[in-house]
């Protein structure tokens, strides 16, 4: 069994909002397994947490670049927001996005590609930038989407410069319509995705393990009502439909009118949404866990 440390209890408390003693008991009951402890708290009605909520521990920028029927998005991390505001760093992120547009989303292929105007490749330019600015940086991830006809629209929420910001979205809209119309629809979808953070394009793309986990939690919650099994089954079915409406893009309510489903909006436009990607800067990168007891002492002024 994993050691139940103060840092582990603190992490669970931050992720679920449950009380400290409940979090400790949840970890003890589940052998230190964080995800099982989250489910245990939910089944006991002690937490509303439904998803992982990794704590962000990085700075930097997300960058996008687009071309005919294709677009790319990258995340480049740095240690401080100060560097993210540096023109040299911003230019580097924009160039890496353009390189990804040309060579694809494989990070090693991006690093091996020539960096324009330097005689160096992208990886060497990154090393040069680290030495020049004096702060650790890395190219964390990249995504490239393409369509056979139509457009891959880009959207950058609260852009610091065109194509650069902290939340970026690609939306691949396929269809025979006018490119300008499809691009407008794609940007609207991008705004929607930035706001709602869906996990899957359609119900078939939902992670089976996540779905089974959700069903197990919902079943336990429904069983607590004391209803017979046939009623419990119907209750779970209804809640799963609600779950889909929360995490599946095409099933979500369109944020632009608060009524339509995304799938209806896309269908009305005579198009098909075949893919999307959302990068939020630092999403899923956790800070090193500190000692919770030491933090409490520090807050209380105890040496």
Residue position matching structure tokens 């007891």: 293
Question: Whole-angstrom Cα distance, residue 134 to residue 149?
Answer: 44
Would you say domain 1-55+291-303 falls under CATH 1.10.8.10? Answer: yes
Q: Where are the chain's structural domains?
A: 1-55+291-303, 59-200+263-280
127 in Cβ contact with 116 (< 8 Å): no
pLDDT digits (tens, 9 = 90+) for 128-144: 888 788 778 899 999 99
Which pLDDT belongs to residue 188? Answer: 97
- What's the pLDDT at 7? 85
The Cα 40–Cα 23 span in angstroms is 10
Closest CA relative to residue 66, chosen from 188, 151, 189, 174: 151
Distance CA 289, CA 266 (A): 43
pLDDT of residue 22: 82
The closest alpha carbon to 69, from 175, 159, 148, belongs to 148
- Residue-by-residue pLDDT tens, the chain, 303 positions: 678 888 888 888 777 767 778 888 889 999 998 888 888 887 776 664 433 333 333 799 999 999 999 999 999 999 888 888 999 999 999 999 999 999 999 999 999 999 999 999 999 999 888 878 877 889 999 999 999 999 999 999 989 999 999 999 999 999 998 999 999 999 999 999 999 999 999 999 988 888 888 888 888 888 887 778 788 788 888 888 888 999 999 999 999 999 999 999 999 999 999 999 999 998 877 544 444 444 444 444 444
DSSP-assigned letter for residue 158:
T
pLDDT of residue 292: 43
Q: What is the pTM of this model?
A: 0.72
Q: Indicate the CATH number for domain 59-200+263-280.
A: 3.30.479.20
């Amino acid at each position: 069994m994993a050691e139940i440390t103060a840092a582990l209890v603190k992490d669970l408390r931050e992720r679920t909002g449950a009380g400290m003693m409940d979090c400790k008991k949840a970890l003890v009951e589940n052998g230190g397994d964080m995800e099982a402890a989250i489910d245990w708290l939910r089944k006991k009605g002690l937490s509303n947490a439904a998803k992982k909520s990794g704590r962000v521990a990085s700075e930097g920028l997300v960058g996008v670049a687009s071309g005919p029927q294709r677009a790319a998005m990258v995340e480049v991390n740095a240690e401080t927001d100060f560097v993210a505001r540096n023109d040299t760093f911003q230019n580097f992120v924009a160039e890496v996005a353009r390189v990804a547009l040309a060579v694809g989303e494989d990070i090693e292929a991006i690093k091996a590609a020539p960096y324009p105007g330097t005689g160096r490749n992208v990886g060497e330019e990154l090393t040069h930038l680290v030495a020049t600015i004096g702060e650790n940086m890395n190219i964390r991830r990249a995504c490239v989407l393409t369509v056979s006809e139509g457009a891959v629209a880009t959207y950058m929420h609260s852009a610091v410069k065109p194509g650069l910001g902290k939340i970026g979205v690609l939306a691949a809209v396929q269809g025979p319509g006018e490119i300008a119309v499809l691009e407008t629809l794609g940007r609207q979808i991008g705004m929607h995705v930035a706001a709602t953070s869906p996990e899957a394009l359609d119900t078939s793309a939902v992670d089976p393990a996540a779905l089974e986990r959700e069903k197990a939690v919902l079943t336990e919650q429904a069983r607590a009502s004391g209803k017979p099994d046939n009623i419990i089954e119907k209750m779970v079915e209804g809640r799963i439909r609600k779950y889909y409406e929360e995490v599946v893009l095409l099933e979500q309510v369109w944020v632009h009118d608060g009524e339509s489903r995304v799938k209806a909006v896309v269908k009305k436009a005579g198009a098909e949404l075949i893919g999307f990607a959302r990068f939020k800067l630092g999403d899923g990168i956790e800070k090193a866990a500190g000692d919770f007891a030491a933090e409490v002492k520090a807050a209380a002024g105890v040496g």
